[in-house]
Amino acid sequence: EKILAIETSCDETSAAVLDGGTRILSNIISSQIDVHRKFGGVVPEVASRKHLELINHVIAEALQAAGLCFGELDAVAVTYGPGLVGALLVGLSAGKAIAYAADIPLIGVNHLEGHIYANFLREPDLAFPLLCLVVSGGHTDLVYIAGHGEYRVIGRTRDDAAGEAFDKVARTLGLGYPGGPQIEKAAVEGNPQAVMFPRAYLEEGSLDFSFSGLKSSVINYLHRARQRGEAVHIPNLAASFQQAAVDVLVDKTITAAQEHNVSLIMLAGGVAANSLLRTELQKAVCSSGRRLVYPSLVLCTDNAAMIGCAAHFKYIRGEFAPLTLNAIPGLRLGECRY
Ligand code: ATP
Ligand code: MG
Ligand code: FE
């Protein structure tokens, strides 16, 4: 079947066409990074307006690249949460209009489910149960997946998301926006052992995360050094911060896999693009006798192909949404709001 997928939950306007769920016929991603850069972060109202300007063009381009017209589609899928409500509504309205006009089913997809399913674009037949570390701009979750669509969040951040910490630390270090890739770049020239930043493991046995202490500690270190008039080595701070964040992410993921008896581990979300996280987790997973899967770089950050892949498995189950589907900014994984 051919599914048109639409993603507008944050600052990427994206549309994709998938054949049979895992064959990407097109995946157009129009990033608003340049628009938001001057504000140092995503401005919700600006994002909505930008989505509105771009959405029809992006959809037309996705269809054209796939060589299809609306009449040849079997379903249209759209992200309906979590995300910025004004941004979500743009994609949702477009999806509903297409579903109505072409008389095809509408499929509502959870954005985080999309991130997870980016892994199925790499390997369609991954065997359950699976453990997924979702690390993105707004989430840091350890998810136990018993089967398609069956999620249990067994650990989550209690404050900042991993990506948020990367972005805030980068801003303090004057590295620009978005912060994750900038930290990674700066860290290449730095010594990860230069500063021993705190690793928050929380209470014994907890699979939760906390990144605000680490973030504050980098910020305080920088301010104190500047007050004393000491020179700061930005690459060393970037490398030390990155190492501290990755250490905790890797350790907790391995512990979760052991406790829940899972041998196949997946990485998902924007921070899954981080090469230190990919290599360190790969090493730890291998030496614990398990296997790691992660999406290709473009499919880690926001895109519509991952939404189309998640939608395929809902299509098979006949999970269609009514045209009254609404945007749910705080939608949780495993929750269905239609
Ligand atoms: P969510 O998916 O939780 O709704 P989001 O969609 O805004 O949030 P994503 O697009 O999945 O987040 O990921 C963006 C985040 O990934 C940003 O915080 C960004 O800094 C981070 N990121 C991207 N590339 C890297 C990298 N190479 N290293 C570390 N972080 C990265
Ligand atoms: Mg984004
Ligand atoms: Fe995302």
pLDDT tens readout for residues 318-328:
999 999 999 99
Q: What are phi and psi of 319, to 5 degrees?
A: -85, 85
When computed from its CA atoms, the radius of gyration of the chain, rounded to whole angstroms, is 20
pTM of the model: 0.97
* Alpha carbon nearest to ligand 1 atom 19, residue: 180
The interface predicted TM-score (ipTM) is 0.99
Q: What is the mean pLDDT of residues 215-237?
A: 96
Closest CA to 14 of 107, 94, 68: 94
| 23-81 pLDDT, tens digit each | 999 999 999 988 998 888 899 999 999 999 999 999 999 999 999 999 999 999 999 99
pLDDT at 217: 98
| 126-138 pLDDT, tens digit each | 999 999 999 999 9
Whether 180 has a binding-site annotation, put simply, is: yes
Whole-number Å distance, alpha carbon 321 to ligand 3 midpoint, is 22
Sheet of 23-31, strands arranged across:
23-31, 12-19, 2-7, 75-81, 106-110
pLDDT at 40: 84
Show the CA angle centred on residue 39, arms to residues 109 and 62, nearest 5°.
35
Residue percentage of the chain with pLDDT more than 90: 97
Kindly give the residue spans of alpha helices, DSSP state H, lying in the chain.
33-37, 44-66, 85-102, 111-122, 162-172, 179-187, 212-227, 234-259, 275-287, 305-317
Mean pLDDT of the chain: 97
| 149-208 pLDDT, tens digit each | 999 999 999 999 999 999 999 999 999 888 999 999 999 999 999 999 999 999 999 999
Q: Is the Cβ–Cβ distance between 278 and 305 less than 8 Å?
A: no
* Alpha carbon nearest to ligand 1 atom 8, residue: 137
CA 336, CA 152: separation in Å to the nearest integer? 14
Residues 6+ apart with CB under 8 A from 228: none
Q: What is the mean pLDDT of residues 13-29?
A: 98
CA 230, CA 27: separation in Å to the nearest integer? 48
Q: How confident is the model at residue 285 (pLDDT cuts 50, 70, 90)?
A: very high
Whole-number Å distance, alpha carbon 302 to ligand 3 midpoint, is 5
pLDDT at 38: 86
Residue 166 Cα: closest atom of ligand 1: 20
CA 169, CA 220: separation in Å to the nearest integer? 11
Whole-number Å distance, alpha carbon 163 to ligand 3 midpoint, is 10
Q: Residues lining ligand 1, judged by CB closer than 6 Å?
A: 9-10, 82-83, 111, 115, 136-139, 163, 166-167, 178-181, 184, 269-271, 273-274, 301-302
Task: Specify the DSSP class assigned to residue 178.
Answer: S
Kindly list the protein residues that place their beta carbon closer than 5 angstroms to ligand 3, a single-atom ion: 136, 302
Q: Is the Cβ–Cβ distance between 295 and 118 less than 8 Å?
A: yes
H or E, element range at 166: helix 162-172
pLDDT at 174: 95
Whole-number Å distance, alpha carbon 301 to ligand 2 midpoint, is 7
Residue percentage of the chain with pLDDT more than 70: 100
User: Could you give the C-alpha distances from 26 to 65, 68, 94, 114, in angstroms and in order?
Assistant: 6, 10, 18, 16
